[in-house]
Amino acid sequence: MLKGRKGLIVGIANEHSIAYGCAVKLRAFGADIAITYLNEKAEPHVRPLAEALDADLIMKLDVSHPGDLETAFETIRRRWGRLDFLVHSIAFAPREDLHGRVIDVSAEGFAQAMHVSCWSFLRMAKLAETLMGEGGVLVTMSYYGADKVVGNYNVMGPVKAALEASVRYAANELGPKGIRVFAISPGPLKTRAASGIAQFDELIEMAKERAPAQRLVDIAEVGRVCAFLVGGASSGMTGDTLYVDGGLHNVA
């Protein structure tokens, strides 16, 4: 389904990462992939996964470090000459700001959370634009807390709301060039990033009890939806946030 497509996947920390679930499915459908790792500490956890998937490119990328994004996209330009899809699956907020009230968040913490979790997607979209001369697909990861108040999600709620709005605006701006933009909103998953949320185990249990499916989704299910969006079957869609949460978002 995706044979010959070339894409960048950002956000793999380990085998439990949502980005890894996407990478596995995209590769299984035939895509060529480039995978990034955050830093030298993360590399030993990511590189073996990338090598097992036969990734064409394995690169260091810290979106907080000036120049890293530009270097990564220039490497893609030199190696592939084009880009067909991008998966952005990174988010961060300083612990002290994440665990506090939204109205108490520091200016520095809010700016950092927005930079890593939202602005980096917009910057990647800008850099990908010139590599997607024949169109392409951009996908990022959101969460139900962007739309409704979720206990202990705190500052990440407004940040993810900004991310979903960015998806809609980017889809409008890039649509004439054949570039489609989406957010996927999985239910709560036991990832390294999610472990920073206070009382996360309680959130997991709540999701299991309330979701119509009576279970959590897994990263493979998110990966299959990502592959659908990247593939031609979704050609008539753009600007949407797609929920992959066992129906949880439909329950009051």
The pTM assigned to this predicted structure is: 0.94
pLDDT level of residue 81 (50, 70, 90 thresholds): very high
Of 226, 224, 219, give the one whose Cα is nearest residue 87.
Answer: 226
By CB atoms closer than 10 A (0-12, 13-18, 19+), residue 226 is buried
Checking if the pLDDT of 35 tops 80, the result is yes
How far, in Å, CA of 43 to CA of 17, rounded?
A: 14
What pLDDT is attached to residue 198? 64
Hey, what are 215's tokens?
């279970």
What pLDDT is attached to residue 210? 85
pLDDT level of residue 102 (50, 70, 90 thresholds): very high
Q: Cβ contacts of residue 130 below 8 Å, gap of 6+?
A: none
- The Cβ of residue 143 has, within 10 Å, a number of other Cβ atoms equal to 29
Task: Examine the residue annotation and report whether 153 is marked as an active-site residue of this protein.
Answer: yes
Read off the pLDDT of residues 122-136 as tens digits, 9 standing for 90 and up: 999 999 999 999 999
Catalytic residue among 143, 144, 169, 243: 143
Task: Examine the residue annotation and report whether 169 is marked as an active-site residue of this protein.
Answer: no
Catalytic residue among 37, 144, 153, 243: 153
Q: What is the mean pLDDT of residues 216-242?
A: 96
Read off the pLDDT of residues 38-64 as tens digits, 9 standing for 90 and up: 999 999 999 999 999 999 999 999 999
Checking if the pLDDT of 67 tops 60, the result is yes
- Output the CA–CA distances (angstroms, integers) from residue 184 to 143, 235, 240, in the order listed: 8, 16, 8
Q: Give residue 28's region: left, alpha or beta (phi > 0; psi -120 to 50).
A: alpha
